[in-house]
């Protein structure tokens, strides 16, 4: 690719009826120097490097269940191991948890309740009450990178998901390199970040919604774009 071109891979199965997908595309309209390319999950399994090496950064979009869980996880692993700036929102959060558990923690059978109901261990479980287009207060953990990035202790964010990190397995991410960096008012985990990575942030909420609700980029998205501009593939 040309040295002056910034490209971000949108890993996910594009659905024009999803508000989150429209919001993501609107976010890129607010950053016209960056090109976004949708990469269907079904095209990545077994070919992550070939599909993604030409991109400065990777965004794993909402919209679960993905057509290919394995494809999404392969993309996340590529971003993590290759040091590519990575943002995962909603389903992207959920699958980043699976990738880390399987690849780093050795939990080969870590599962997602939506993809494989009844499997064990179920790291991603159904929420007691679905978060459907619901605004909630998010509190950032002091001392972590996301706290510094946000420059505030809390913010109101939009959630639109039915699945999250199973509280029974939350301790796996306390003191881990993929660490907890935000919780909601019910003390449920809603963001994680990877230590010693230039930018690897996953949120259960959808920061892309700021492009619709306020016509501006959310701090997380803006910081992700900034990091993508600094990378040359």
pLDDT in tens, the chain (233 residues): 444 689 999 999 999 999 999 999 999 999 999 999 999 999 999 999 999 999 999 999 999 999 999 999 999 999 999 999 999 999 999 999 999 999 999 999 999 999 999 999 999 999 998 899 999 999 999 999 999 999 999 999 999 999 999 999 999 999 999 999 999 998 999 999 999 999 999 999 999 999 998 789 999 999 999 999 999 75
Query: What local confidence, expressed as pLDDT, does residue 233 receive?
Result: 58
What does the pLDDT read at residue 7?
Answer: 98
- Yes or no: say if 192 and 96 are a contact pair by the CB < 8 Å rule: yes
Q: DSSP label at 41?
A: G
CB burial of residue 18 (10 Å; 0-12, 13-18, 19+): middle
Contacts of 159 by beta carbon, 8 Å cutoff, 6+ apart: 90, 131, 133, 134, 135, 136, 190, 204, 205, 206
Least Cα distance to 184 among 139, 132, 229 occurs for 139
pLDDT of residue 6: 96
Pairwise CA distance, residues 95 & 90, whole Å: 9
What's the rounded Cα separation, in Å, for the pair 123 and 185?
21
Radius of gyration of the chain (CA): 16
Q: What is the pLDDT of residue 33?
A: 96
User: How much is the pLDDT for 214?
Assistant: 79
Residues with Cβ within 8 Å of 173's Cβ and at least 6 positions away in sequence, in order, are 97, 165, 179, 180, 189, 192
Determine the pLDDT at residue 86: 98
């Amino acid at each position: 690719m040309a040295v002056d071109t910034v490209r971000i891979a949108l890993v996910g199965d594009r659905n024009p009826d999803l508000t989150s997908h429209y919001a993501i595309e609107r976010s890129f309209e607010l950053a016209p120097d960056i090109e976004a390319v949708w990469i269907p999950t079904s095209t990545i399994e077994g070919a992550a490097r070939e599909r993604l090496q030409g991109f400065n950064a990777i965004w794993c979009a909402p919209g679960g269940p993905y057509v290919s869980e394995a494809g999404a996880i392969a993309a996340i692993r590529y971003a993590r191991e290759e040091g590519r700036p990575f943002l995962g929102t909603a389903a992207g959060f959920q699958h980043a948890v699976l990738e880390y558990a399987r690849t780093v923690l050795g939990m080969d059978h870590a599962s997602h309740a939506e993809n494989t109901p009844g499997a064990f261990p179920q790291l991603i479980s159904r929420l007691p009450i679905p978060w459907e287009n619901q605004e909630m207060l998010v509190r950032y953990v002091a001392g972590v990178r996301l706290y510094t990035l946000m420059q505030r202790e809390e913010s109101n964010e939009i959630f639109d998901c039915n699945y999250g990190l199973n509280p029974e397995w939350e301790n796996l991410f306390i003191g881990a390199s993929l660490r907890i960096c935000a919780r909601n008012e019910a003390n449920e985990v809603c963001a994680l970040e990877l230590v010693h990575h230039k930018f690897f942030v996953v949120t259960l909420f959808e920061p892309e919604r700021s492009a619709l609700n306020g016509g501006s980029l959310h701090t997380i998205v803006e910081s992700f774009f900034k990091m993508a501009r600094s990378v040359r593939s």
